Amino acid sequence: MFKGLRKTREFCAAFTAPEGVEAVLCPPFVSLAAALESGHTVFAQNVHWAGDGAYTGEISAPMLEELGVAGSIVGHSERRQYFGETDETVARRTVAALEHRLRVIVCVGESLEERESGQMELVLRVQVEAVGDAVGAHERLVIAYEPVWAIGTGRMATPEQVSEAHAFIKSLLDVPVLYGGSVKPERAAEVLSLEGVDGALVGGASLEVESFEAICRAAAS
């Protein structure tokens, strides 16, 4: 929940993705139109499963499609943690978005308690298969692995942990997998070079043009 119209326009005007890197910007709903003015690829942060109806406060896939948005994040850990998102609703949102020609980044990941109790693979299996059973390995679908314990904490998963999780997800569903969890410029190159890592879902480090561009340059290299 950062950047209204003015700050979104300033960011988009200043940001340039390096050659060979696809960068997607995901501003709040109120700033989507402003971001689209720039010509950058723009995704929403969430999308509802219904085309319309009595769902006050929600935004539908047809609305995003009409606006010109290219896709949406679905099932971000904060949506799961704070707003009651479930594997079922994540799957329903994904289906609706894909049916309306949007691209989708589905977020999955385990909590610290789940990892320490040896349930990482079980949690990922349930989350990934909920989406896989609904839409399969769709060409417009991407999975983002975001270990909840590494989000906004400055604590990043080790290369071994990242590779293990990405390999497991790919064994369940054959789609690109991004890593998200305190991705910083200083460690971006290391993580993005790992086997099975197809990109990054960047949180706090994307709020400043300089740090986001540095991560994009790491991807390009």
DSSP state letters, 122-154: HHHHHHHHHHHHHH-S-TTEEEEE--GGGSSSS
Bridge partners, residue 43, by sequence: 71
What single-letter amino acid sits at 150?
A
Query: Which residue in the list 110, 114, 146, 213 is annotated as catalytic?
Result: 146
Percent helix, strand and coil across the chain, each to the nearest 5: 50, 10, 40
**CA-to-CA distance for 140 and 153, rounded, in angstroms?**
30
Sheet holding 24-25, edge to edge: 24-25, 41-44, 71-74, 103-108, 141-145, 177-179
Report CA dihedral (60, 25, 221, 104) to the nearest 10 degrees: 0
- Among 48, 76, 78, 166, the one annotated catalytic: 76
The CA distance from 172 to 170, in Å, is: 5
Q: Does the annotation mark 114 as catalytic?
A: no
- Residue for token digits 């406060």? 57
The per-residue DSSP string of 82-125 comes to HH---HHHHHHHHHHHHHTT-EEEEEE---HHHHHTT-HHHHHH
Q: Which of the residues are catalytic?
A: 76, 146
